[in-house]
Structure 1
Amino acid sequence: MKAVVVSRPGGVDVLEIKDVDKPQLKDGWSLVKVKGFGINHSEIFTRQGLSPSVSFPRILGIELVGVIEETSEPDCFSVGQRVVAMMGELGRAYDGGYAEYALVPNKFLYLVDTDLEWADFASVPETYYTAFGSLKNLKLEASDKVLVRAGASGVGQAFVKLAKGQFPNLNIVASVRHLFKKDSLLASGFSDVILEKDGKLQTAETFSKILELVGPATISDSLAHLQEGGIVCSTGQLGGKWYLENFDPIEKLWNNVYLTTFASGNITQSKLQELFDFIKTYDVAVGPEKIFKLEDIQQAHAYLESSHAFGKVIVLNEEE
């Protein structure tokens, strides 16, 4: 089979298309024919050598959609069934979705009821699940005034689609570092766009709910723009900082505000199905912003790393 193999950490040039042996079925695992997968910032960090637990060579990819090719548990899975695989150290402790086939532990395979086409299906798993969990933890209401930091990111775009699907008149604002994306952000559903410069929002506005996708690098600034009783959900780490340092909760949360998070590893079959049911109920358009082929994986990573990236980027394998 063809796969993207990373033999050493580095730039996009370390993403090499190679012919490798198709994985052999083993007890407790299933072989999945990969139809498509999303590209995530965490995979860029891993490729760069910023995931200490990951050893090379490795086939990256923390998510995939596809069909069961072979299974060690025929009572649970059937050949040809559509499945989602995500998290569970996929693409980190063992080879992931950047390939034509992937061997996945059965406990990290999920059967979902959906009639989405493959491109839309591949756009959903990690990104929309992360956005959906964040939406729930923010306890979103129609009357909220919401800010999404890094609104042009994949999760930011997924969040605005989900939120406006449920609350069409929601006042939801995006912050970005580059205002040339403003028209695209407004077209995607945001009510307004705010410039962020050097980790600071260039406004005195306050919000009742904030989705924090830049992460620890800007949490303190987000809390300073939160109305009393409001919630910040810190979900992403796009700012490249992993921890809060010198953080005094009494000082930072003095205004009776709340800080929470959502981790996409917190997943069950029922929670994932709830997302797909939500997408169907509110007719959420989940299609990707950009589609690449497996052999164009270097261009896909380069695009996602660039300032021009907008929304969800996926790789779609050729249909037979």
Structure 2
Amino acid sequence: MRAVVAPEPGPASVLELRNAPIVEPSSGQVLIRVKAFGLNRSEIHFRSGVASSGSFPRIPGIEATGIVESAPGGQFAPGEQVVTMMGGMGRSFDGGYAEYVTVPAAQVIAFTSALPWAQLGAVPEMLQTADGSLRVGLRAETGQSLLIRGGTSSIGLALTVLAKMRGMTVYSTTRRPEAVARLRSIGADHVLIDDGSIAAQVRRLCPDGVDGAVELVGVDVMKDTLRAVRPGGVVCFTGMLSNHWAIPNFYPMDWIPNGVRLTAYSGEAADLAPETLQDFLDAVAAGRAVIPVGKTYRLDDIVTAHEDMEAGRVGGKGVVVIDDRAG
């Protein structure tokens, strides 16, 4: 099979397209013929050598979407449409940047959809993270208000889509004025230009503060995000687009306003219920939701894809399509 290999840590140019053996699955594993896979910033962290886990050489990729080729344990039937994600993919064992991937059956989720693979490939990790941030991190409720700090990221765009499906009022941030129309087109009610301080902007629109916020930029702006939320509201730390992960000399009483709650979210395949995945894909097919795909690439374009991710040129979820044919 053709696969992308990171032989060692380094810039995007270290990624190499090679021929690699297909790993034959055991009874507890599933061999998936990959149709498409999403691109994630955590794969940049791994490739760069700053991730907290993983080894080289490695086929990267924390997610993949495709067709079951073989499942010796009988958990899935050949030909079933499936997604897989996390669980050590692309770090402790070879991941989704390949024509085939072998993964534990426990991290495979089946679905049925006639949507194009370029759309389906964007969904698994993006949906799992956005859904978990709302459901677990915030315990969001219909009709509440939500601030998304980092709204033009793939997770930020997915959060907007899911929040509007829940009847929420969405405040979304971007550093780029040219992105305002994109955010409004997927349902954001208020778009705020982020100059590093947005709490005052939020309070002008919502004087008591929003009910909840998802922090996707990082701890360098989280103190400001906390001040945009009402007492009793919640901030969920989900992402770190700025690559700032830790708070030096953290003093909670200075950082966290009275009554505001701070949580976090990171998940695995088990955290995405099959019915959540299927309901979302059905909503997209029916025109009630959208999948915020930015750019699509081929396997041969992986270096360009990583360079685009790092430069912020994708404009949504980046997807590599290996085979866009049905079946």
Taking structure 2 as the reference length, the TM-score comes to 0.89
Against the structure 1 CA distance between its residues 109 and 288, is the aligned structure 2 distance closer, same or farther, given a 3 Å change threshold? same
Residue identity in the other structure for 2:20: V
Which residue number in structure 2 is paired with residue 128 of structure 1? 127
Residue identity in the other structure for 1:298: V
Against the structure 1 CA distance between its residues 218 and 89, is the aligned structure 2 distance closer, same or farther, given a 3 Å change threshold? same
Which residue number in structure 1 is paired with residue 294 of structure 2? 289
CA distance in 2, matches of 1:36, 1:54: 23
Q: 1:290 deviation in Å? A: 1.6
CA distance in 2, matches of 1:319, 1:252: 48
Q: 1:211-250 alignment to 2 at 5 Å? A: 211-250=214-253
Residue identity in the other structure for 1:307: G
Q: Does residue 1:262 correspond to 2:265, yes or no?
A: yes
Q: Does residue 1:87 correspond to 2:86, yes or no?
A: yes
Conservation of the 8 A alpha-carbon contact between 1:129 and 1:272: no
Match of 1:308 among 309, 313, 316: 313
- The range that moved more, 177-186 or 14-23, is 177-186
Q: Does residue 1:273 correspond to 2:270, yes or no?
A: no
CA distance in 2, matches of 1:128, 1:319: 21
What SS does structure 1 have at the residue aligned with 2:308? helix
Structure 2 residues without counterparts, runs of 5 or longer: 204-208
- The range that moved more, 188-197 or 152-161, is 188-197
Conservation of the 8 A alpha-carbon contact between 1:194 and 1:202: no
Conservation of the 8 A alpha-carbon contact between 1:158 and 1:311: no
Which residue number in structure 2 is paired with residue 46 of structure 1? 46
Q: 1:60 deviation in Å? A: 0.4
What whole-Å deviation, never above 9, does each CA across 1:224-250 have from its counterpart, x for those lacking one? Answer: 221121111111121212223333334
What whole-Å deviation, never above 9, does each CA across 1:79-118 have from its counterpart, x for those lacking one? Answer: 1111111010111100000000111122222223545432
Structure 1 residues without counterparts, runs of 5 or longer: none
CA distance in 1, matches of 2:278, 2:252: 36
Conservation of the 8 A alpha-carbon contact between 1:196 and 1:202: no
Which residue number in structure 1 is paired with residue 200 of structure 2? 203
Conservation of the 8 A alpha-carbon contact between 1:132 and 1:275: no
Against the structure 1 CA distance between its residues 82 and 174, is the aligned structure 2 distance closer, same or farther, given a 3 Å change threshold? same
Conservation of the 8 A alpha-carbon contact between 2:199 and 2:225: no
Q: Does residue 1:172 correspond to 2:170, yes or no?
A: yes
What SS does structure 2 have at the residue aligned with 1:243? coil
CA distance in 2, matches of 1:32, 1:266: 15
- The range that moved more, 112-121 or 231-240, is 112-121
Taking structure 1 as the reference length, the TM-score comes to 0.91
What whole-Å deviation, never above 9, does each CA across 1:271-299 have from its counterpart, x for those lacking one? Answer: 24324324535832225222111111111
CA distance in 1, matches of 2:308, 2:36: 18
- The range that moved more, 206-215 or 244-253, is 244-253
Residue identity in the other structure for 1:192: H
Q: 1:159 deviation in Å? A: 0.7
Q: 1:69 deviation in Å? A: 1.2
Q: 1:300 deviation in Å? A: 1.2
Which residue number in structure 2 is paired with residue 252 of structure 1? 255
Residue identity in the other structure for 1:276: Q
What SS does structure 2 have at the residue aligned with 1:98? coil
Conservation of the 8 A alpha-carbon contact between 1:65 and 1:85: yes
Which residue number in structure 1 is paired with residue 206 of structure 2? none
Residue identity in the other structure for 1:36: A
Which residue number in structure 1 is paired with residue 37 of structure 2? 37
Q: 1:6-21 alignment to 2 at 5 Å? A: 6-21=6-21
- Count of residue pairs the alignment pairs up: 315
Conservation of the 8 A alpha-carbon contact between 2:130 and 2:155: yes
Residue identity in the other structure for 1:187: S
Which residue number in structure 1 is paired with residue 160 of structure 2? 160
Conservation of the 8 A alpha-carbon contact between 2:26 and 2:73: no
Against the structure 1 CA distance between its residues 215 and 266, is the aligned structure 2 distance closer, same or farther, given a 3 Å change threshold? farther
Indicate the RMSD between aligned Cα atoms, in angstroms. Answer: 2.1
Residue identity in the other structure for 2:176: H
Against the structure 1 CA distance between its residues 128 and 268, is the aligned structure 2 distance closer, same or farther, given a 3 Å change threshold? closer
Which residue number in structure 1 is paired with residue 189 of structure 2? 191
Q: 1:17 deviation in Å? A: 0.8
CA distance in 2, matches of 1:116, 1:319: 10
